[in-house]
Amino acid sequence: MIQRVLSGRYELEEKIGSGGMAEVYKAHDRLLARPVAIKILHAEYRSDVEFIERFHREAKSAARLSHPNIVSIYDVGVAGNDHYIVMEYVQGNTLKKKMQDEGPLDMLTATRIAKDIASGLTHAHANNIVHCDIKPHNILMTEDGHAKITDFGIARAVTESTLTYGGSVVGSVHYFSPEQARGGAITPKSDVYSVGIVLYEMLTNRLPFTGDNPFTIAMKHVEEEPISPSRYRPQIPPMLEAIVCRTMSKSPEIRPTSFELVQELSKVETALSVTVKSDPDATQVLSITDIPSRRAVRKGLGTQVAQQEEPVAEEPVEQKPFYKSKVFIMMMALVLMLGFGVGIFAAFGKVLNTEETVTVPEVKGKQLALARQILEDNKLRVNVAETYDANVPAGQVVSQDPDVGKTVKSDRLVTIYVSKGGESIDMPDLAGLAKSAAIERLQKLGLNLGSVYEKDSSSEPGTVLSHDPTQGTKINRGQTVDLIVSRGEPEKKVEEVKVTREYTHVPNVENASLSVAESGIEGRGLHVGSVTYEDSTQAEGTVIAQYPSPDAEIEVGSYVDLVVARRAQPEPVREPEPEPVREPESEPQSNPIQNDVPSRESDQAKER
Cis peptide leading into residue 598 (ω within 30°): no
Nearest to 477 by CA among 415, 427, 429: 427
Q: How far, in Å, CA of 377 to CA of 228, rounded?
A: 13
Q: 267-289: per-residue pLDDT in tens?
A: 999 888 876 655 444 333 333 33
- Percent of the chain at pLDDT > 70 equals 75
Query: Running DSSP on this structure, what letter comes out for residue 67?
Result: -
pLDDT of residue 464: 92
Taking CA 607 as the corner, what is the angle to CA 602 and CA 608, rounded to the nearest 5 degrees?
A: 95
The answer to whether the predicted template modeling score (pTM) of the entire model surpasses 0.85 is no
Q: 496-523: per-residue pLDDT in tens?
A: 445 567 888 888 888 888 888 888 888 8
Pick among 1.25.40.10, 3.40.50.720, 3.30.10.20, 3.40.190.10: CATH of 424-488: 3.30.10.20
- Is there a common fold for 358-419 and 503-572? yes
* CATH code for the domain defined by 5-88: 3.30.200.20
In terms of CATH architecture, what is 358-419? Answer: 2-Layer Sandwich (3.30)
95-277 carries CATH number 2.60.40.1180: no
Q: 435-494: per-residue pLDDT in tens?
A: 999 998 888 887 888 888 888 888 889 999 999 888 888 787 778 888 999 988 876 655
Q: How far, in Å, CA of 233 to CA of 203, rounded?
A: 8
Q: How far, in Å, CA of 234 to CA of 211, rounded?
A: 25
| Angle separating helix axes 188-204 and 258-286, nearest 10 degrees | 20
* CATH code for the domain defined by 503-572: 3.30.10.20
Q: What residues are labeled active site?
A: 133
Q: 236-274: per-residue pLDDT in tens?
A: 988 899 899 999 999 898 899 999 999 999 999 988 887
Domain ranges of the chain: 5-88, 95-277, 358-419, 424-488, 503-572
